[in-house]
Amino acid sequence: MEYEIRKYGSLDEEQKKQAVELFMEGFGKMMTFAKDEELKKKLLFDIFDPSLFLCYTAEGKVLGLLGLADSKARPLNFAPEACKKHFGNFRGGIISKQMNAVFQKPVVKAADELYIDILVTGSAARRKGVGTALLQYAFGLEGYKSCLVHVFSNNRAAISLYEKNGFAVEKREKWSLMRFLGAGSGYPVRMRRTVG
């Protein structure tokens, strides 16, 4: 399949909407801050970082989404202005604080560590190498010596994807708070591989 890996900021409006749909497919259950699905999507459309979200596109369609973090930035910032724009001053302010406590919490310390924050591929496009292509692209980025990810212990598909791409289990975080936030089933497993 002919494909391109493109930054979110370079997509047209329709493709950005597809990227948001994909995100909701993989991570929608963590977006507990509101019930109105359309409003949540509008907010996400606005707050995806234009260069930290990378999209796998083929024939103009977005089939995979990768959000990258490092010691300086994470790709999903529920900025107060954006949250207030969609949810009003009071509720928007609360949503911003509540979501950023999770999504803007630093995930790596060293400047040469790259972190896979978000990875999802469209259900109809799975087992076709889309996830692998996005990871391989990330491994080629300059300035990093290792790449880390957290994956839930019961997410067999993701664990085998990461193992196949050279990651090894570093730590089983059985007492992590994430376990109780309904983010996935099982407990978070930290995996790492060297890059560069």
Ligand X SMILES: CC(C)(COP(=O)(O)OP(=O)(O)OC[C@H]1O[C@@H](n2cnc3c(N)ncnc32)[C@H](O)[C@@H]1OP(=O)(O)O)[C@@H](O)C(=O)NCCC(=O)NCCS
| Binding stretches for ligand X (CB under 6 A) | 26, 119-121, 126-132, 149, 151, 155-158, 160-161, 164
Residue 93 CB, shortest distance to ligand X, in Å, is 29
Joined tokens for residue 76: 């999903």
Of the pair 95, 151, the CB lying nearest ligand X is at 151
Q: Which 8-state DSSP code applies to residue 75?
A: S
Of the pair 93, 186, the CB lying nearest ligand X is at 186
Residue 91 CB, shortest distance to ligand X, in Å, is 28
Residue 118 CB, shortest distance to ligand X, in Å, is 7
Of the pair 84, 190, the CB lying nearest ligand X is at 190
Residue 32 CB, shortest distance to ligand X, in Å, is 17
Residue nearest to ligand X (CB): 131
60 vs 15, 25, 44, 122, 154, CA distance in Å? 8, 19, 21, 14, 33
Angstrom distance (rounded) from CA 12 to CA 148: 30
What is 104-149 written as a DSSP string?
A: TS----STTEEEEEEEEE-GGGTTSSHHHHHHHHHHT-TT-SEEEE
Neighbours of 144 (CB within 10 A): 21
Of the pair 47, 161, the CB lying nearest ligand X is at 161
